Chain A
């Protein structure tokens, strides 16, 4: 009984290998590394959130076969990516290339960051200007005093300061 259970238990130890569906021979390890790198870099157009090395769609298998063929026949990485992009569009590349039509995608976030930065600077500058204006007002106050103008009464001064504070809080 125990002996018959053992093989069954051993079965539990085996785990499925999803990652690769077929095996390819490579002439050099460098080519093999390129294959693994590129097959992770290319998106499978059928199942869009998988790269071609993860996907078991027939199209992904075709693309892997094509990738292997191209690597082994000496195409460089750029030529291979060009081949894929000319057929399936920029979408096939997980990292879209920097080209006029992808500028918005690549640089848009930096532009937004810049705009945000500008907005913060402007708000800060406005605040500072307003604070300076308040100080100026106080300075003129003392100047008026020395010039013999009737100074504000304590009530008036308090009211003025309240008003100014309100303005600052705005």
Chain B
């Protein structure tokens, strides 16, 4: 019994060590979404290309897709744009765009200049939908399943490494839907 107690400080040290070690590789700026496994918030906002046409959350249903929150004022969005082009145009994965707190004209110009990887783009000019979605830093990329349920959120740039992870998750979610 006594011998056992001698080891308690060491055990406590190990436990703390494990937690602190894990902490080294955690990014505190990455928050879990409060909306995981919840339906995409309802909205009624204009489409970027046809401003008279209102889009709703029903437009984001039908297939497993990415939803990318972006803006022309966001430098990281520009950095990841090439990757999005690759995903959307070369690999043919549907990406819905959410143009967040931006000038629609600037957004249209941007997509003309850098190519448009999005299947649909909704304009959230005053950030109301972004607020409902819990967006706290563009760019953010979500995975929606075919019922429009939010399944995953990634905050920050989507690069090849992140994309491979998202792709794997999308395949799992798609397989789930078929089963």
Contact = CB atoms under 8 A, between A and B. Distances in A.
B34 A48 contact: no
Contact of A62 (B29, B31, B131, B133): B131
Q: Is the interface of B mostly helix, strand, loop or mixed?
A: loop
Interface stretch (A29-37, A84-92, A135-143, A145-153): A84-92
A87 B134 contact: yes
B35 interface: yes
Contacts of A102: none
Contacts of B130: 62
A88 B155 CA distance: 13
Contact of A89 (B32, B127, B131): B32
A48 B135 CA distance: 14
B33 interface: yes
B163 to A, nearest CB: 24
Contact of A45 (B127, B132, B136): B136
26 contacts: A45-B31, A45-B134, A45-B136, A45-B137, A46-B136, A48-B28, A48-B29, A58-B101, A58-B127, A59-B135, A62-B127, A62-B130, A63-B131, A85-B34, A86-B34, A87-B35, A87-B131, A88-B34, A88-B134, A88-B136, A89-B32, A89-B33, A89-B34, A89-B134, A90-B34, A91-B31
Interface of B: 28-29, 31-35, 101, 127, 130-137
Interface of A: 45-46, 48, 58-59, 62-63, 66, 85-91
